[in-house]
Amino acid sequence: MSPGEAAMPRGSAERASRCVYYPRFRGAEALTSHFHRAGWYLPHRPGVCDRVTLGVRGGAVPGAAPWGMVDARDAGTSGHLEVTANRTLWLRRLLAARVVLVWDRRHLAAARSLCAGRRVAVVNVDTHDPAASEWGAYAGLHWRALLGRERREALIVASRRRFEAFAAGLRDAPFEAAVVYGTGPSLRAARRFDAGNAFRVVCNSTVQDDALLDHVRPHVITAGDALSHFGVSRYAERFRADLVRALRERDLLFFGTATFASLLLAHHPEIEDKVVLVEQRRAEPNHDLFQRFEAPALDSTMNIHMLPLAATFAGDVFVLGADGQAPAGENEDFWAHAGGAQYHGLVDTGHACHPTFAKDRSERTYARHLASVEATLSAGERHHAKRYACLHPSHIPAMAERALDDGWLAARGLSASAERPVPIASLRRFLDGDPRWPDRGGAGPTPGRARTAPEADRAALAALRGLHRGRAGRLVGGTAGPGPGRPRTGSEEVVVAVDAADVPEAAGSAAARPGFHATSGDLPAAELDAALAGRIGVTHAPAGSAGGLARVRVVAWDDLGPVTADPAAGPLCFSDDLTRGGFSGSPLMAGLQLAAHLGLDPIRLDGWDRAAVPARELAHARAWARARGVRLEGLPAAADRGLPAAPGPAVRGPRRRVAVVMRNPARGYSGGRYHAWFLAAGLVRAGHRVRVLTDRLPAFLHEIPPAELAAMDVVVSERLEVPRGWAPDLVVLVPGGRLDRPLETAGVRLARDADARLALLNFESADWFNALAPARRDASRWGGWRYVASHADLVLSSAREGTRFARRFYREAPAHTLFREVGPPIHDAAAQAVLDAAPAAAAEPGRPRIVCITRFAVGDPHKGGAEVAGLFGPELAGAELCLIVGRDGVPDAVRAGLDAAAEAAGMAWSLHEQVDDAEKFRLLHHGGRPSVLVFPSRFEGFGYPPVEALFLGVPAVAYRLPVLEEVTGGLVVSVEPGDVAGLRRAAAEALAAGRLGPATPDPGRLAAWEDLRDRASLGGFARRIDGVVAEVMTRPAPPAARGARLCDWPEPRRDRAGPARPRRPRLDPNPSLYIRARRVGGAIKRRLGMPTSLSREAGPSG
């Protein structure tokens, strides 16, 4: 012990050490790498990170930083890094650590066991483990694990005040537009545009180009890449140096994500007054940072920072430098960059420092970027009256649709030259009357618009809200058109007309009513002149309608936001308040939104032809109305093309507030998480208000029905922190595959604090899994599930078979706990789209197809991956085996075996990895040609693939599992588990027998198939889950979570599933060293007066 440590009070040395690496380093290579990473990622700050300890063996010492990495010694950030070969000292640090960093993934389970029961963050930072995403894990450590909640909240509050002060300083010079500058090659054209009258935002490495910054004079610079901007590479170091210099020398604000940008403040506190930190929370675009001070949980700084900033300060947004990925050969490090917007010579340093980054980025980043851009622009145009134009052609589809090329400029006499730059004001004036500017909210070209002050917006909103509350309404529109078959409007009804052809007739009968409102995009001026005088409010009206509206004094109109005029009160105009909260931009939804805002109830639909209105739009309207408690009358039936009627169910009880709490995988699919998101969608369809609390957005978010997803309130919190003010009636906890105390505690705490009912979504129980699966699992993995069940009012399984086992397994559940089962829905919209497109593809020739969906992961032998080679045989000669797998892929040795087996059997095979739902359904359906699903799984909690195949009418063959026979209604063809030859024979017979469908001759099988399609649809699921919610909410017993103890965790036990393995923390893979470490740890704890639960040899008294 050093003299300094000897002078410290007992325990203070341990408390001063916050971060410890585990296990001890054996060699200099890994030690050197993590030593220099710790210098940047774990900065010294008293009370936050006082010391970082790296234990070593054999005298290893850290050398100079690897190539491309910042040297911690040269940077002066290594003073608090402690490298010790003293095992006792390292153990003391480990036992008192606040953060344990696991640099070798093989020891991750041991570290978690060691830290179980203590408030210690265990973080995987293995630089060679793709699942760790170490560049993000490291960069987020400071914010997520080291700064406490109070410090984080204080930083956000200070940032918000700084942002508001910054905005107040700009109010004296209102902006006509905003310009967003990316880093693509088209950024070279920035000098051709004079944006002096616009709000200007730049990003990333543009900060190095002083000449460009002098011309643009940006108000804000943004950056958000954990690797390129807040990483440990020479590239990131150079960027930060240029950023700090620019912030010191220029009147410039930095706007960044708090998770990573807080590192910048930790190292450079002198620029704090120039930095605004914002948290990412919801998975939806943000167009007003004053109303909601948070960044969207989307992809790339363009969507996270730049476009939200631009939309906050201006209505018209111009984009330059957003080029996207060019055709092959023209990209550098993901996509091409302008010369002054990239440190071209330092790009490789980032890849050298983070070897797994390129693979992860190529798998998911660009597709998410494209989806984020489309979502941001579309939401801004439809819901917030924003207009976007790209000043240069782009490879990003959403930007390309809005691009203005040089020909467009030249046709308007705008010189695109450096000598005479085009003012943004000139562009805006030309755009106001240009027919090429798209009208994305209505049907006609976009007119000019008169913008009003926020005070007028609020006044107009107040004037319209509830204007006709308590009166019945009629929504006229669709495609039927006016005529004798249309019912006459009742004298007490208020009319909302959508289609231009319906306006004259509907308005003509409006004389006896207090108002008439229209959402048409093409109002016929001549016919309206006499009929509408003095009694119309208009939305989506183009400039050409002014003649017909002159007599009602409509002096302003807006193509995307509603406009109204009240002759008594004078003209009023507002831009986007009506369209918030579920507005889809379709004529039907536009009319419903306006009718509900006026307070009309019920709303009778008149003239909406089911043959022309998409079923999904009607389902959206139904879900929207039920979520808001609005009664709809005259809604068309939803049965066509063999689709079972699934009009969303009438809510059996009062509308409830439901919170769904879950984690999501960093990438790839998870069947349980997929189930949970569709559960949330079904609750929305049933009319309940749903909020989802999750740590990240899943890769499959685009699979969730958009109407239901739009109606959810999704909150992204990496630490699963519950937003203040949440008061749900029901909390649904979605457990993970292993013990996850922060997740389970968050769900129980939310239910306890809100005095809400708590439901556990039970995928499978340990006794059920171990009764059937070939490789048993430790029952202690279900410890968190049992803890939640001990406070649950509902344990919800996917099948009766699951409920049967759950009743025996969750013995801690209160006596009043309900055990129910509701099978999850499939993505029925995607499946139906494949069926609708089938006739065109059915004529194409092709081999018979055997589809096999499985997994080859080492820990999941029950999925049957080892038996795929046995599916090649003479019974299926000439067929193609279509193998669908997830992100784990197929090992090379297995591929070689499949090649040989296919050649011997005279078959072909193809591999499809990480397909989405649409592609999966296309592969299953095979364009109507012969196909069959073979599912060799030994255990399933539900079994999506057989249900999905049978929904399409494709026969399914599987091992005999009671749960599969239950969820398919006996339609699955079963063979004994392990009988691979039986699978082949059954598949051949199924190919010969043909598909299921409306023409199935067996009445029993036809009825079972129709019942399966109803149960697998989202509408059918919504009816069943609504009944369960009504049942659990009306139980007389008080909520089971009331007064719950958040530390009352069940101990491991011997279940029917088999004996639980001892949960001893393994400090070292060597057994003798493990025993010695336990003894040393016990001695240290006794000396410090700490409990000695780790030392059984010493006995209870020590």
What CA–CA distance (Å, rounded) separates 360 from 667? Answer: 9
pLDDT at residue 397, rounded to an integer: 87
Residue 460 has pLDDT above 60, yes or no: no
Q: What is the mean pLDDT of residues 481-507?
A: 48
Axis crossing angle, helix 828-836 with helix 944-951, rounded to the nearest 10: 40
Q: Tokens in use for 1046?
A: 């958040």
DSSP conformational letter for 85: -
Is the Cβ–Cβ distance between 742 and 1046 less than 8 Å? Answer: no
pLDDT digits (tens, 9 = 90+) for 801-830: 999 999 999 999 999 999 999 999 999 999
Residue 510 has pLDDT above 50, yes or no: no
Residues 6+ apart with CB under 8 A from 916: 700, 702, 703
What CA–CA distance (Å, rounded) separates 597 from 576? Answer: 13
What CA–CA distance (Å, rounded) separates 536 from 506? Answer: 11
What CA–CA distance (Å, rounded) separates 193 from 423? Answer: 6
What CA–CA distance (Å, rounded) separates 546 from 523? Answer: 9
Strand partners, 256: 223, 277
Percentage, residues of the chain above pLDDT 70? 72
| Closest to 983 measured CA to CA, from 959, 952, 951 | 959
pLDDT bucket at 683, cuts 50 / 70 / 90:
very high
pLDDT digits (tens, 9 = 90+) for 412-433: 777 666 566 888 878 877 776 6
Q: How many CA atoms lie within 13 A of 46 on its CB side?
A: 0
Residue 22, SS3? Answer: strand
User: Is the bond preceding residue 62 a cis peptide, omega within 30 degrees?
Assistant: no
Is the Cβ–Cβ distance between 41 and 230 less than 8 Å? Answer: no
Residue 579 has pLDDT above 50, yes or no: no
- Helix then strand count (H, E) for the chain reads 40, 35
Q: Averaging pLDDT over each range in 647-661, 755-769, 834-848, 1033-1047, which range is the top one? A: 755-769
Q: What is the mean pLDDT of residues 504-521?
A: 42
DSSP conformational letter for 530: H
pLDDT bucket at 728, cuts 50 / 70 / 90:
very high
| Closest to 518 measured CA to CA, from 458, 477, 483 | 477
Is the Cβ–Cβ distance between 496 and 600 less than 8 Å? Answer: yes
Find the DSSP H helices in 532-614: 546-549, 587-597
Residue 6, SS3? Answer: helix
What CA–CA distance (Å, rounded) separates 429 from 673? Answer: 49
Count of Cβ atoms closer than 10 Å to residue 153 Cβ: 13
CA angle 76, 79, 85 (to 5 degrees): 135
In this structure, of 172-176, 320-324, 482-486, the range with the lowest mean pLDDT score is 482-486
Residue type present at position 970: G
Residue 956 has pLDDT above 90, yes or no: yes
Q: Tokens in use for 454?
A: 């926020």
pLDDT at residue 974, rounded to an integer: 94
What CA–CA distance (Å, rounded) separates 477 from 540? Answer: 14
Domains of the chain: 3-132 (3.40.50), 149-432 (3.90.1480), 454-633 (no CATH), 657-821 (3.40.50.2000), 828-1016 (3.40.50.2000), 1066-1102 (no CATH)
Residue 27 has pLDDT above 70, yes or no: yes
Residue 674 has pLDDT above 90, yes or no: yes
Q: Is 131 exposed, middle or buried (0-12, 13-18, 19+ CB in 10 A)?
A: middle
Higher pLDDT, 368 or 68: 68
In this structure, of 154-158, 314-318, 559-563, the range with the lowest mean pLDDT score is 559-563
Q: What is the mean pLDDT of residues 494-509?
A: 52
pLDDT digits (tens, 9 = 90+) for 821-854: 999 999 999 998 888 876 544 445 678 999 999 9
Q: What is the mean pLDDT of residues 334-354?
A: 81
Is the Cβ–Cβ distance between 666 and 698 less than 8 Å? Answer: no
Phi first, then psi, for residue 299 (nearest 5°) are -120, 135
Would you give the distance in Å from CA 660 to the centre of its chain?
14
Q: Which residues of 85-120 are buried (b: 16+ CB within 10 A; e: fewer)?
A: eebebbbbbbbbbbbbbbbbeebbebbbbbbeeeeb
pLDDT bucket at 495, cuts 50 / 70 / 90:
low
What CA–CA distance (Å, rounded) separates 490 from 468? Answer: 15
pLDDT digits (tens, 9 = 90+) for 745-800: 899 999 999 999 999 999 999 999 999 988 888 888 898 999 999 999 999 999 99
Mean pLDDT taken over the chain: 77
Query: What phi-psi label fits residue 260: left (phi over 0), alpha (psi between -120 and 50 degrees) or beta?
Result: alpha
Is the Cβ–Cβ distance between 762 and 1028 less than 8 Å? Answer: no
Residues 6+ apart with CB under 8 A from 260: 139, 140, 143, 224, 226, 229, 230
Residue 392 has pLDDT above 50, yes or no: yes
What CA–CA distance (Å, rounded) separates 989 from 563? Answer: 64
Identify the helix (H) or strand (E) that includes residue 149: helix 149-168
What CA–CA distance (Å, rounded) separates 190 from 940? Answer: 57
Q: Tokens in use for 339?
A: 């010369």
Residue 516 has pLDDT above 70, yes or no: no
Q: Is 511 exposed, middle or buried (0-12, 13-18, 19+ CB in 10 A)?
A: exposed
Residues 6+ apart with CB under 8 A from 818: 793, 794, 795, 1028, 1031, 1032, 1035
Is the Cβ–Cβ distance between 836 and 868 less than 8 Å? Answer: no
Residue 242 has pLDDT above 90, yes or no: yes
Residue 489, SS3? Answer: coil
What CA–CA distance (Å, rounded) separates 680 from 691? Answer: 8
Q: Averaging pLDDT over each range in 372-376, 557-561, 976-980, which range is the top one? A: 976-980
Residue 5 has pLDDT above 60, yes or no: no
pLDDT at residue 1083, rounded to an integer: 66
In this structure, of 61-75, 372-386, 572-586, 1083-1097, the range with the lowest mean pLDDT score is 572-586
Is the Cβ–Cβ distance between 708 and 623 less than 8 Å? Answer: yes
Q: Where are the beta strands (DSSP E) in 807-860?
A: 818-821, 849-853
Place of tokens 């009147």: 251
Residue 297 has pLDDT above 50, yes or no: yes
Residue type present at position 551: R
Residue 331 has pLDDT above 60, yes or no: no
pTM higher than 0.75 for the full model? Answer: no
Residue 871 has pLDDT above 90, yes or no: yes
Is the Cβ–Cβ distance between 353 and 40 less than 8 Å? Answer: no
Residue 1067 has pLDDT above 50, yes or no: no
Q: Is 947 exposed, middle or buried (0-12, 13-18, 19+ CB in 10 A)?
A: buried
pLDDT digits (tens, 9 = 90+) for 615-644: 556 666 776 676 556 778 877 654 233 333
pLDDT bucket at 159, cuts 50 / 70 / 90:
very high
Would you give the distance in Å from CA 851 to the centre of its chain?
29
pLDDT at residue 732, rounded to an integer: 97
Higher pLDDT, 55 or 452: 55
